[in-house]
Structures are given as C-alpha cells and as structure tokens.
Structure 1
Amino acid sequence: MHLAWARARGEVCSAAAARKVLVFGHSQGGHAALFAGELAASYAPELRLLGVAAGAPGPDVEHTLPFVTSASVFNGFNVAFVEGFHAAYPQFDPAAVLTPEARAQASIVDQKCLGGVAAALSSSPLVLAHNPLDIPALKAIVVANSYGNRPAGAPLLVVQGTADTGVPKFVTDAFVKKACAAGDTVDYVLVPGANHGGELPAVADGIAAWFADRVSGAAATNTCT
C-alpha cells in the first residue's frame, strides 16, 4: 500500500518532488513499512525512497516462531501462519507441521479474524507437531517472507517501547542487530516504560524532525555500534 499509493501519486504529479518517498508505519504497519523499504527499488524504481520509520514493527515470522511455538496462547497465530503459507504456497503441506487435531480445526481461519481464532484455540493442546524452521523447504519460505533479509533500501528510524508486550523489545532488538550487521543505517530509539502504541506520542516530534532531515539531505544518525 505504501509504495502503490506513492507510485499512483507520482503518475498524477510529474514534479520530481512527487517521486520522493518517506514511509512510516506502526505495529503491523511498521512491518509493512520495513518491507516497503526493502522492495522499493525493485517494485517502484522510479521512486526515490528517502527514509523508513517503523514504530514497534510487527515481528517477522523468522524471529517470532522460536518464542510462539511452545505456548498454547499462540495456537491461533500458529494455525493462521501455517494455513496462510499453504494458501500462498500450495506445495507446502500443513500436515508437515500441524498436529492431526489442529488440522481438524484449521478451517476456523476462514471463518474468524485472528482474535477469534486465537480465542477458540488458546485452550487446546499445542498445535505444532514440528518446528517449521526445522523443515528446510518451509524455512526457505519463512526467510523469504521475513523482513531484515535484504538491504533496508534507505536509512531507518526504529522506535520501541521498553514495556511493550505486544511487540516485545527483544524481538525488535534482534531485527536492529541484524540490520546493523548488514550495514544498514539505523537510528534505534527506545522509549522507557512505553507500552504498545505508547511510544508514538513521546517521539512524534522526533519522527517529524527525522523525516525533515531526510528531505533536506542531512546525514542520518546511525546508532549501530
């Protein structure tokens, strides 16, 4: 959506400024923003991506799986993840990772939103018979669908609340560490005590200033060490 909107605007407005793009998103929107940055050069090469800001970005599947496979509270997420990948990649057989009991209930993902799926399955036994990352063919699909495995495409501003339980800090820490190791320019801002969504009011002016610096051409702060 980020890039499609920017591309459409560029087609309407011929000025060079219309092709300069700044991307922002929070939570799942932050997840999308990071992907937009990675895909911009190939998806919309006519655009000039200046910067990507992500607040508590929804964790990518690759880093999420290790801590959601061993607790029944995440059953709904796991079934939705497996069934979603099966819909996108029909060659992947859900029976390779789901228990028979979970397979029998899997149709619920076509009937309810994620919250309803989670509520219906949270008291069931664990739904994964095998860790998806232990299956090479599935791991390759997971990696391809996880952000942080390609160049960022532009300087990054990542904002994270230290008390966030929706997107835990350690998950965002792992992404930032990976991005820094890959040579991306990352300004990682922690907001002490902020929960999920609570970090944005505290840094709204800072995000606006960071975007203004990207437009002016100022060098981006890099907190990677």
Structure 2
Amino acid sequence: MAKKKKAVKTRHLHPLIAILILCLLAIAIFLIFNNLQARRFQSNLNNFYNTTDIPLQGPLGELIRSEPVATDLQNGSANRIIYRTQKKDGTITFSSGMIYIPSKAAASPRPIMAWAHGTIGMGDSCAPSRQKVPNVNNGITWVDSMLEKGWVVTATDYAGLGTPGTEAYLVGQAEANDVLNSVRAAKNFNGSDAGNDYAVWGHSQGGHSALFSSARARSYLPDFKLVGTVASAPAAELPSLFSQQENTAVAWIIGPEASLSWPDNYPGINLSSVLTKQGLNSYKGIAEKCINQAAIDGLIRQRLGQKFFNEDVSNNSAWQTILNEQTAPTLAPNQPLMVAESLTDNVVLPNTTAKYIQRSCQAGSNLTQLWLTNVNHIALQSVISPSVINWLDDRFNGRPNISNCNQPLPIAPAQ
C-alpha cells in the first residue's frame, strides 16, 4: 500500500500582528516622505539665507532682502527678511527673521512689537523664519491679534540661526543687537509705515534677550522710544538655573547649546573641565537638533543615567564668570516691565524668576509680576498673550504702569 503523505502545516500571522506591521510600515513611509519634503523645502531656501557675498559695511538694521511668506493670518501679511546686525564684539554680521505687517490702513505711524523667541535648537532648519507657516509652527498665533491692533511685529531668528555662523545662544549682548536691529529693519521695511515707538517681548531664552535689549535700548536705539518690555519665563538668573538643572534632562538641551555658543564668544573656555565624556562627544550634534528631537534625546539620556555636566558649573571659575556676565540686568525705573511665570514651569524654574523679580524690585524697577499655575513652559506664552497684549496696548497709548512689587512672591527666590 502507498504511504499517506503528511499534511504540511502552514503558519499564518495573527491578523492583529499583520495589521500592526502594516501600520508601522505606513508610519515609516510617512516619516520618510515628510523628511524628504522638509529637506527639499529647506534646500529651496538656502539661496535666500546665504549672506557670504553681502558687503559687511552698511547701516545697521538695513534690509538686505525680503520675500513674502504664505500664512493663515487674517489681519496682515508676513515676510521673511535678512538684515544687518552685530555680534557681541561689535563686528558686522547678518540675521534673518520675520516682519508681519497689518492689512488695515495706518492712521498714524504704527508701533513696533519686537518678539524674541526661546530655545529651539541651533540647526539652520530650526530657524523660525525657515518654517512653512512661521506664526503657527513657532507657536506665536497671537501675532494676528497684534496685527488687528495695527502693530508691526518683527521677530528675529538671531544671527547664525538660519544664516551662516553660530547662534550666540544666551549671549545677551549679541541677542540684544539682533532684537534692536530688527526694530530698525521693521522701520526700514517698505510699506510698514512704522514709527519710532516700540516694545519688546521675549520668552525663555527670548526673555533673556528682551531684558538685555531693553537695558541697552536707549544707547543703541537713541532715535526710537521703548515703551515697555515683557519677559515671560525669562532665563534671567543663569547661575541658579544651571546649578539646579545640572542633573536633569533640561541640562541636555541648554548645556549643548551653551557649549556650542560660548566658545565663539569667550575664546579659551575649557569645555572638558565641566562636561562629561558623553557630553563632550555629543554636544555639537544635540545642539544642532531642533527642540523636539533634542528634548527626546535628553529624556532618553537622563533615563539611561547619563549626565551632561560632570560638576556644578557655578563652581568652575571660568564658567561662573560667563554665567554672571550673562545674568540679565535690571531695568531702570522709567522702563515699564512685565515679568510672567508659571509656578509649574520645570524648564526655567520659577524660583529663579522670583529671584530676578526680587532683585529688580529692590533696584527700583517699574515691574508688574504675573504668576500662573498649571501652565507648562511652552504653553505659557500663548496663555498669557491676551494679558500681554492689553498691557502693551496701555504702554503704546501712554498709560502709566502700576508696579506691584509690593505683592508677595508666591515662591521663595532661588539662592
């Protein structure tokens, strides 16, 4: 008799596993496609941001080039710009940025609101003006409300971010030059109808920029009038901030950017004296990542037990000198100032902001403090935007600021 053949068993993937594999494959294809699109978009912008052939000599704030940008704005238009500015040492360089122009006719010279952005990464593709929809992609949707009021809004990228060179991260003198020259650029922009009254608002790193800008406004922009300054979650007290964030994931964000920026502005600074081996090997790559990728990297490294700094940088004399020099100045009593912070901010710690407020009030600053809770660091600027706009509107209309320095601080200031 012939032997019976054994039935061959076939293995089939469980339907759920097959669906999962297909989903993962679809996500991978989507991410690859998006990455290719982003690379193509950035590549198409390179000629606009190339400043290597532009003469260095010329007026500060001079508009070198501009082009319109498509946005969803209801009350105005947007333009990316290149303008002339200065580094910390006074040498000439160029910054990119944005200028937003109201659509309604100007009844009188328009006031200027200069925005200074926070930490976003130092790679050229991270620059706010290099985003597809800058006001949305950068979280400054409140620009439309300012345009409705008839304000010109200027928003620097900072020199070296988007343009050739290295961004002067947390170097207040250079940041101030970029912010203040963006005001000149707004005035020079054809069709802006901008006057000489301006205000400055900065968040996080930008709060640091805003305070340095306002402290030197009178000497640097003598023909303009600063009516008010807003610093939200400002990186104002650097020794306390760096010391407290030394062993956190935040150190893997601010540490790499400072490590890339400061040697350019403080030649001879020794990184190996304060950075771990992991920090030294990776700081350049992390600094060039945009903020979302850098934050994920930092969280992973923190979970793996990796440290960026090998010691408290405030104990290193060379770094201590820089931290002290880059601690934000207090403003004069005739310079209205609003400082806003959230008690649940885990990036710019609220006790460091309380320390700056305490120091400013003791120095006689005309300061309004605004405290919130249950608002994270990133969301703060959007949450407070109605209050900021109302406060700035009062300043543009000549109404006096009423200081509330007599209000008790809701948290003990950092030591």
Please classify the TM superposition score into its range, dividing by the shorter chain length: 0.7 to 0.9
Query: Whole-Å Cα distance in 2 between the matches of residues 77 and 35 of structure 1?
Result: 19
Letter paired with 1:215: F
**Partner of residue 311, structure 2:** 130
Q: Deviations over 1:88-137 (max 9, x none)?
A: 32211112212344323344246534543525643353232332222333
Query: Whole-Å Cα distance in 2 between the matches of residues 189 and 67 of structure 1?
Result: 23
Count of matched residue pairs: 222
Query: Whole-Å Cα distance in 1 between the matches of residues 370 and 320 of structure 2?
Result: 31
Query: Whole-Å Cα distance in 1 between the matches of residues 361 and 372 of structure 2?
Result: 20
Query: Whole-Å Cα distance in 1 between the matches of residues 280 and 335 of structure 2?
Result: 41
Question: Which of 206, 209, 218 in structure 1 is aligned with 2:387?
Answer: 206
**Partner of residue 27, structure 1:** 204
After TM superposition, the score normalised by the length of structure 2 is 0.47
After TM superposition, the score normalised by the length of structure 1 is 0.80
SS in 2 for 1:30: helix
Q: Note if contact 1:25-1:31 (Cα within 8 Å) is conserved in structure 2.
A: yes
Question: Which of 160, 163, 177 in structure 1 is aligned with 2:341?
Answer: 160
Q: Note if contact 1:83-1:94 (Cα within 8 Å) is conserved in structure 2.
A: no
Letter paired with 1:151: L
Query: 5 Å matches for 1:110-189?
Result: 112-114=289-291, 115-116=293-294, 118-119=298-299, 121-122=301-302, 123-147=304-328, 149-151=329-331, 154-189=335-370
The structural deviation recorded for 1:49 is 0.6
**Partner of residue 224, structure 1:** 405
The answer on 1:48 being equivalent to 2:225 is yes
Query: 5 Å matches for 1:101-116?
Result: 101-109=278-286, 112-114=289-291, 115-116=293-294
The verdict on how the C-alpha distance between 1:138 and 1:199 changes in structure 2, with shifts beyond 3 A counting, is closer
Question: Which of 57, 60, 75 in structure 1 is aligned with 2:234?
Answer: 57
The verdict on how the C-alpha distance between 1:132 and 1:194 changes in structure 2, with shifts beyond 3 A counting, is closer
The verdict on how the C-alpha distance between 1:47 and 1:171 changes in structure 2, with shifts beyond 3 A counting, is same
**Partner of residue 93, structure 1:** 270
Q: In percent, how many aligned pairs have the same letter? A: 23
Query: 5 Å matches for 1:68-83?
Result: 68-71=245-248, 74-83=251-260
Moved more, 23-32 or 46-55: 23-32
Bigger relative contact order, structure 1 or 2, given CA contacts below 8 A and separation 6+? 1
Q: Note if contact 1:86-1:92 (Cα within 8 Å) is conserved in structure 2.
A: yes
SS in 1 for 2:229: strand
The structural deviation recorded for 1:176 is 1.0
In proportion to residue count, which structure has more helix? Answer: 1
Query: Whole-Å Cα distance in 2 between the matches of residues 202 and 55 of structure 1?
Result: 11
SS in 2 for 1:214: helix
The verdict on how the C-alpha distance between 1:73 and 1:188 changes in structure 2, with shifts beyond 3 A counting, is closer
Q: Deviations over 1:117-160 (max 9, x none)?
A: 5256433532323322223332222222221x343572111222
The structural deviation recorded for 1:188 is 0.2
The verdict on how the C-alpha distance between 1:192 and 1:103 changes in structure 2, with shifts beyond 3 A counting, is closer
Q: Note if contact 2:202-2:210 (Cα within 8 Å) is conserved in structure 1.
A: yes
Q: Note if contact 1:76-1:119 (Cα within 8 Å) is conserved in structure 2.
A: no
Query: Whole-Å Cα distance in 2 between the matches of residues 40 and 8 of structure 1?
Result: 15
The verdict on how the C-alpha distance between 1:91 and 1:10 changes in structure 2, with shifts beyond 3 A counting, is same
The structural deviation recorded for 1:3 is 1.7
Q: Deviations over 1:25-73 (max 9, x none)?
A: 3333333322221232233222211100122234553331111113366
Query: Whole-Å Cα distance in 2 between the matches of residues 102 and 203 of structure 1?
Result: 35
